[in-house]
Amino acid sequence: MKIVNDKNMKSQRIVSGILTGIVIGVLTSCTVIRPGQIGMKQTIGKLKPGVISAGPKMFNPFVTKIVKINVRTVEFYTELELPTKEGLNVRTELILLYHVNLDKAREIYINYGANYQKVMVESNFIATARQVSARYDAKELYAVDRKLVEKVMLDELSADISAKGFIIDAVLLKEIVLPNAMTQAIQAKASAEQSALQMEFVIQKAIKEAERLKIEAEGIKASQIIINSSLSESLLKYNYIEMMRGLSTSPNAKIIMTDGKIPVMLGGQ
């Protein structure tokens, strides 16, 4: 009875081992190509023509492997010490956005392997960033339109590696940090320029006010000249008579004394 049980246990272990092997074989012979990826089949070291689209794929793991290439946009971030025209180094934060040209994915893998980003993209990007920054003084690099610098880097990097199958989507300068002494000098210059602009505004305001007062004085003078030129002896006598009439009828006036030229009123309520 014991012999029979031992045989049964041995048979169960064999069956279990076979099933485990089948499960492992199935799992290792299946892979999934995700959206944004393409696959290529490599059998006994030879890359098969064509690409494999997204979805689950079966293959023989003993002689074949599935190479996956990412064709979606990739973000590469780096911090670099970039040289300037005068020989200084400035710390920068850079972002590169690129993607693999689908039509050249096979060629990229053959030429540069699975580590194509480090071999081609990163190395060329760093070299291009250094070449472009070396054309500017530190102050120019800090103050110049960053979009212009980004475009120069993008254009030159594209010229270097686009033909090799890499499409550059964007180059972004996130941060530029100058040496402390230079930063303080730039800030001092900016402050001085603001003070000069403020002083110029004050001077211009004073000039405008002086011009306004001059125009106002000239207007008053011209008005007086016109009034004086229009006064005649008859008009003065007429105004005098009207004034006297008003004084005589005023309830506040009691006595009016005059020498015929200047009236004097005495008394009141």
Q: Which pLDDT score, from 0 to 100, does residue 222 have?
A: 76
pLDDT tens digits for range 26-53: 445 677 777 888 888 887 877 777 777 7
Sign for the pseudo-dihedral over CA of 13, 14, 17, 19: negative
C-alpha closest to that of 143 among 91, 180, 95, 183: 183
pLDDT tens digits for range 49-80: 777 777 677 666 777 788 888 889 999 999 99
Rounded to 5, what percent of the chain is helix, strand, coil? 55, 25, 20
**CA–CA gap between residue 132 and residue 154 (Å, rounded):** 10
Domains and CATH numbers, the chain: 2-69 (no CATH), 74-183 (3.30.479.30), 233-266 (no CATH)
**CA–CA gap between residue 262 and residue 203 (Å, rounded):** 50
pTM of the model: 0.57
**CA–CA gap between residue 231 and residue 209 (Å, rounded):** 33
